[in-house]
Amino acid sequence: MDKYFGSDGALSEAIDGYEVRPPQARIAQELADAIEAEEDLVAEAGTGTGKTLGYLVPLLASGLKVVVSTGTKNLQEQIINSDAPLLRKVLGEHWTMALMKGRSNYLCHVRADRFAKQKFLPNTEERQLQDRIIDWKLETETGDRAELEDLSDDSPWWRQVSATTEQCAGRKCSEWERCWVTRNRQEAQNADLVVVNHHLYLSDASLRMSAAGGNAELIPRHDYVVFDEAHDLDEIASRHFGADISEGRFISLSRDLKVLQEKASEHVGELTALGTALELRSARLFESLPFGDRSVRWQPQFLSEDIEEHLNSVTDVLERLEECLGSEPNDELNHLAKRSGNLAFELNFALSGEQHHSLHQEAETSLDTASEAITPFVRCLERNGRSRKIVVRPLDPSALLERAIGEQPKAFVSATLTIGRRFDHFKAKLGLHQPREVIVDSPFDYMHQMRLYLANDLPVPNSRDFPNQVAQRAESLVKASRGGAFILCTSHFMTSRVAAHLEQATHYTVLRQGTAPKSALLREFRSRGDAVLVATMSFWQGIDVPGEALRLVVIDKIPFASPDDPVLSARMEWVESRGQSAFGTFQLPQAALLLRQGVGRLIRRKSDWGMVAILDQRVLTKGYGRVLLSSLPRCPTTSDFTKVVNHFGVRFNEH
């Protein structure tokens, strides 16, 4: 590693103004030692240490087949567009790289061709988008939706031209050979470095674990993997080793059936009736379930005669669909048979706790019900606007993670993995046993670059007046900072309340999460220089806004997970049943890590400066506040608002 990171090493020749960073070199050496010993590593590398290059150099220098799994697209783009071209200068041109994304990021030839045949009126938005996608389909070399920069993240039209894993027929698809996903996987097979995200990596792990997976794989076999942004890997694992049974899945299956039923050699009339029956009966089932305004925890004993009757009615349709479609000679119809079996399997496991056996084969689902012997599952009913779904989650994803990736040599890297400079909480979440450990601190001068304001005169968060007081204090802070602020809230209610107040009380541009794609909001925030962005959890991490465009971060309250969340409450009960304190071993560490993530949005470069404001008095009045504050960077702290105003005044005069 010295020949790369030393003062006269290869990086110094490739980077103008290169400075030796001892923390970066230490990360590189620790990972090099772990790779050589085929051992696991957990590494906390503070912001600004250059951790990405720190792990990429030993990975690529090893000559092994390696994978980097990230938590965000931003980091993927940094590796592909910035770090990789640089390392070609350092390590030479002899290594190759591939970027892999989930299937739904790519155009599906089959579904796009169907979309092109739809009849839209000329000059309508739908027709314009249809024409654009058809033109793009002819010119794209990747099929990656990222090339359509102004297509919103939640575009309903993209869902018509892409395929989910459930919708894809795989090798039996007529377009398999020229499928963009197929080409992407073939490229990855021959690459030395494969860059993926956590969702895809764990989808691959789920497939390998499932009985139906066999020798199938999404990601090529590899010698070592680095999980960057590893702090939320356990939550992603929980989703992948569980299931989501939404009304939309039944509707999607029915509509795909209507499109394809003309290919049936028999059962055509019956398939038409079954598709209609599936939509009607699934709608009745969901109407019979006790969905509330919030998530509701479900127990098998809640299965009333009425609900069981509707469940059996839906299962009967799915079984008949599987039987009819499975006997057809057409591959696309056979795939719909598998989808029917999978849906029946997951639905019955979720509501009755029983395993519904597929008629033709093992269910191809990421839900590994055999793992209930390892950890129990929690079921709940979730409503989000008009959308309703049944959710199944493992109570302890660490056991499943250990089984899925335990034997794979691996490293976990993030700026926020420790509590009190210990990895105990993180290791327990991921089921790690005696990995190598290293902590390297950020090179930033927080004592000079950052100030921390802790409000001690606002009501407690459960007070009726708390939202109003937070909005007013946010207004005062934004005026002191002259904009350039992130207001990070712990709920959508607070986001709406604070944003509405700031729109009326200040002249700054107020950007609110949900009003535009995340990338568009960040682009406008950076370009304006004095905007205010009000957002919830998705902006607490993985966001990088260097420079004076961001000089104030306001956090409304300590980000404790809501005890009303049925998944959380079930996990807390699970922890308590094992003789541990749910608050001390689960809630508090999670809040501390998330608080660090939010605070970490402010200082991203050595030239950055600004203020973090926490408006929850409990960090000062409660004993656990010391744990939270000890996890944050050491910097000057005040509860005197006059000093906040003076600090910004002095800094503006300096600049």
Q: Which pLDDT score, from 0 to 100, does residue 213 have?
A: 47
Domain boundaries, the chain: 2-96+191-239+398-440, 103-172, 243-365, 446-654
Query: For residues 356 and 212, what is the distance between their CA atoms, to the nearest angstrom?
Result: 15
Q: Across all residues in the chain, what is the average pLDDT?
A: 89
- pLDDT of 513 reads 92
Listing DSSP states for 22-47 in one string gives HHHHHHHHHHHHHHHHT--EEEEE-T
**Six-digit token string for 100:** 């892999």
Query: Shortest CA distance to 60 belongs to which of 31, 99, 81?
Result: 31
Residue numbers in the chain where pLDDT is lower than 50: 211, 213
pLDDT tens across 72-107, in order? Answer: 887 888 898 889 888 888 887 788 999 998 888 899
Q: Does domain 446-654 have CATH number 3.40.50.300?
A: yes
pLDDT number for residue 210: 61
Output DSSP code: residue 384.
Answer: E
- pLDDT at 19 (0 to 100): 82
Closest CA to 413 of 426, 403, 425, 428: 426
Strands 296-298 and 552-555: unpaired
Alpha carbon distances (Å) from 513 to 304, 486, 498, 582 = 40, 11, 12, 31
Using CA atoms, how far residue 348 sits from 161, 345, 354, 579, in Å, is 30, 6, 6, 32
CA–CA dist 262, 344 (Å, integer): 24
CATH number, domain 2-96+191-239+398-440: 3.40.50.300
Q: What is the pTM of this model?
A: 0.86
